Amino acid sequence: MIKYTLSLLIMLATALGVVGQVPVDSVQTDSAKYSTFDPVELRISSTFPSVPSPSAVRIFGVPSSYPIESGSIVDPVLLPRISSTFYSVPYPSALHEPLAETSIYRTYYSVGMIANAGNSELAPYYISSNNGGNITQQYSALMNISLVHNTDPSKRFAWGAGVEVWGGYASSAGYQRYVGNGQFNVQKQHPARVWVQQAYLTAKYRSIFAMAGQAYKYSPIVTELSSGDLVWSINFRPPVGLRAGFINFVDIPFTQGWVQIKGEFGYFRELDDKWLENHYNYYNHFITTDRWLHYKTLHFRTNPNQPVVFTIGAQSSCQFGGTAKYYKEGELDHTVKMDADAKAFFRTFIAGSGGKSAGDSFVEGNHLGTWDIALEGHLNDNKLLRAYTQWLWEDGSGIGKMNGFDGLWGLEYRNVIWRPLIEGAVIEYIDFTNQSGPIHWTPNDHEGTPITSHSSGADDYYNNYIYNGYQSRGMSIGSPFVKSPLYNHDGYMRYRDNVMRGFHAAITGWLHEYWRYRLLGSYRKAWGTPIIPRAGSVDDFSMALSIQYNPGHKYLGWKFNATLAMDHGKLYGNNWGAMLGITYSSTFNF
C-alpha cells in the first residue's frame, strides 16, 4: 500500500507544480531567510567585508559536493534542493569566489590537472570516494576540461548545456580471471584513457525542469561534508538518461506557503558493461549487463522563512532490464534476460509485480530507497544547526522500518559569516547491521516445503540475486561508506561487507583569507553480509586533510588543492596517498 501511495504522491506533485507555478526570485535582501539548494539565490550583504570583486555577493544554494579536485562546473537548475537554510560557497569549486550578481548566468569554462600517488594498487578511501569515480588508482596524472552554459533561474523559460571531459594516465590494478583447467590469471585493468564525465542539455519553464544526458545529481538530504547519500551519491560516474521534475520546493496551493513540495524522476543507462566484463572472474556467481536504472524522489518542507524548518520525504531507485549470465566452476550455466519494454518501465515506477518477466516475477527490478527526515533551527542570523536521517530500505520490511536502527543519522553545523575558521562541521553514525533480521524465507520460493511461515530478513543491502550489486564501474551508487566492489580483486561483482556500522566526521573552514581546509575522518567495523558472514570482523580507520589555496583577485580563477589521506585496518588495508590539483576557470558571454 505504501509503495502505491508514494507513486501517487509523485504524480500529484507534478500536477501541483503546474497549478502552483511560482516564478523564482534570484536576489533577496538580508532580512530574508534562505534554504540550502534553493535555486542559486544571491544574497547581497552589507555585513561582509569588502573583497576584491565587482560586488560583495554571497552565493547560497550551490553545493560543494561534486568532486573536490575536478573543477567541474554545475548548472544551477541541476543543483540539489534540501531544507537547510544556509549554505556556503562551494568547496572547492571552479566558480569564482565571490561572483558578481550578473555572472551566475554566464557561460563558464574550466581546465584542471590532477595527480595522485599512493602505496597500494587503489587510492585510499577518502581520495577515491565521492569524487565521481574519477580518481581510483594508485597513480594517475589526469586533465579535465569543462564548458557549461548556465540556465538562468530568474527567467520563466531558459536553457542550459554542459560538457566535461577527462583524460590522461592511470595505473592498473590486478583482478583474478578464470582461464580454464582450474587456473586463474591476474588481469591488469586500468580506467579509460579518455572519457566523458558529463554531457547534458537542460531546460526549465517556471518551476519545472527537464534534463537529457549525463550530469551529476546531488542529494536532497545531505551536503558535501557527509559520508554520502544512501540512495544516489556522487561516488560514481553519472549515468546517461532523462530527468524531469521541480527545480525547487514550491508552495502547495491553499497552504499559504506553510507546506512546500518537490519531486523528480528519471530513467538512465549505466553503460558500464565493458568494465564488468573486464573485471569479472568468470568462475562463479553471475554478471549482469545492459541494465537500466530508475530514480524518483518526493519531499515536503515547511515554510523555510521560519526559525525551524522540517523536511520529510523519500527516495527510490531501481535497477531493471539487462541480461544475467550465471557461471558455475568456470562454465556458463544459464542465461536470464529481463524485460526492458514499456511495461517494465511502468512497473519499475510503481514497484509493481514483474508478472511473467524472467528473473523478476515477484517485483520488477532491484528496488531500494530511503525515508528522509531533516530538522533545522537557526542559532542566529548566520549560524544553523541541522539534524537529519536516512532510513534505508530494500523491501517491504525496511519500508515499514522493521530494520531497527539501520540508516544514516547526522548532525550538521553551518556558519556563513565571511570565511570563518569553522564554516561547517558534520558528524554521522551509519548502521547497516540489523537488515530486518538474519533470515529471509518465503515458502513460495521452496516448492513442497512444510515450513509455511514467512521471514523477510537478510535484506543484504546493495546486493541482489540477479544484479551485480548497486554499483557502477565498481563504485557504489549509494553510500561509499560501504566498501565498493571495485576493491574485490578476486573478480566478485557484489558487496562483501554490507553488515557494518561506523562513524564519519568532517570539518571545513578558513585558515586565512586565501587558505581553506577540510578534515575528514571515519571508523567502521564490518562482519561480511547476511548471506555470507565473516567468521570475525574487520575494521578501518580513514583520515584525509585537504588544503585549498585561492590566490585572490590578482590571480582570479586559479585554485590549488592538496590532499593527504590514509587508511588503517583490515577492511581496506594500510594505505596512504597524496593528491595535487590545479584548476583555472573563467567566463565569457555569447
566 CB contacts (<8 Å, ≥6 apart)?
Answer: 124, 542, 543, 544, 575, 576, 577
Cβ-based burial of 271 (10 A; exposed 0-12, middle 13-18, buried ≥19): middle
Which range is least confidently modeled, 136-145, 204-213, 549-558? Answer: 549-558
| Alpha helices, DSSP H, located in 92-213 | 125-128
For residues 1-28, give the mean pLDDT: 37
Sequence letter at residue 52:
P
Reported residue count of the chain is 590
Q: What confidence score (pLDDT) does residue 553 get?
A: 78
Q: What confidence score (pLDDT) does residue 89 get?
A: 28
For residues 61-85, give the mean pLDDT: 40
| Alpha helices, DSSP H, located in 236-306 | 273-279
107-118 and 575-588 beta bridge pairing: antiparallel
Give CA–CA dist 423/196, Å, rounded: 33
CB 175 within 8 A of CB 186: yes
Reply yes or no: is the peptide bond before residue 98 cis, omega within 30 of 0.
yes
500 CB contacts (<8 Å, ≥6 apart)?
Answer: 430, 432, 433, 481, 482, 483, 524, 525, 526, 527
Q: Give the residue among 325, 326, 465 at the shortest CA–CA distance from 395.
A: 465
Give CA–CA dist 236/195, Å, rounded: 13
2-143+150-583: CATH topology is Porin (2.40.160)
The three cell numbers of residue 409 are: 543519522
What string of H, E and C letters represents the secondary structure of 13-76? HHHHHHHCCCCCCCEECCCCCCCCCCCCEEEECCCCCCCCCCCCEEEECCCCCCCCCCCCCCCH
For residues 108-122, give the mean pLDDT: 96
* Residue entry with cell 536553457: 159
Distance of CA 127 to the CA centre of its chain: 15
How many degrees, rounded to 5, is the angle at CA 219 between CA 577 and CA 408? 75
| Local structure of 559: helix, strand or coil | strand
513 - beta bridge partners? none
For residue range 358-377, list pLDDT tens digits in order: 666 567 789 999 999 999 99
pLDDT of 127 strictly over 90: yes
CB 138 within 8 A of CB 123: yes
**C-alpha dist (Å) from residue 308 to 34, 221, 250, 376:** 12, 16, 18, 6
For residues 409-427, give the mean pLDDT: 94
For residue range 257-279, list pLDDT tens digits in order: 999 999 999 999 989 999 999 99
What string of H, E and C letters represents the secondary structure of 423-471? CEEEEEEEECCCCCCCCEECHHHCCCCCCCCCEECCCCCCCCCCCCCCE
For residue range 131-178, list pLDDT tens digits in order: 999 999 999 999 999 999 988 878 899 999 999 999 999 999 999 999
Residue 82 pLDDT grade (very low, low, confident, very high; cuts 50, 70, 90): very low
Residue 2, H or E segment: helix 2-19
**C-alpha dist (Å) from residue 298 to 7, 12, 39, 320, 379:** 9, 10, 17, 21, 28
For residue range 327-340, list pLDDT tens digits in order: 999 999 999 999 88
* Residue entry with cell 535555486: 39
Higher-confidence position of 143 and 77: 143
CB 560 within 8 A of CB 590: no
For residues 434-457, give the mean pLDDT: 58
In the chain, where are the structural domains located?
2-143+150-583
What DSSP designation does 139 have? S
Q: What confidence score (pLDDT) does residue 45 get?
A: 25
Q: Under the phi-then-psi rule, with left for phi > 0, alpha for psi from -120 to 50, and beta for the rest, what region is 448?
A: left
For residues 421-442, give the mean pLDDT: 84
Q: What confidence score (pLDDT) does residue 152 get?
A: 84
- pTM metric for this prediction: 0.82
Give CA–CA dist 212/196, Å, rounded: 15
The three cell numbers of residue 211 are: 534534463
Give CA–CA dist 117/480, Å, rounded: 21
Q: Give the residue among 178, 179, 241 at the shortest CA–CA distance from 210.
A: 241
pLDDT of 440 strictly over 90: no
CB 177 within 8 A of CB 491: yes
Q: Give the residue among 394, 487, 387, 416 at the shortest CA–CA distance from 30.
A: 416
Q: Give the residue among 187, 82, 222, 202 at the shortest CA–CA distance from 153.
A: 202
For residue range 452-492, list pLDDT tens digits in order: 544 555 789 999 989 989 999 999 999 999 999 999 999 99
Sequence letter at residue 388:
Y
pLDDT of 3 strictly over 60: no
Q: Under the phi-then-psi rule, with left for phi > 0, alpha for psi from -120 to 50, and beta for the rest, what region is 172?
A: beta
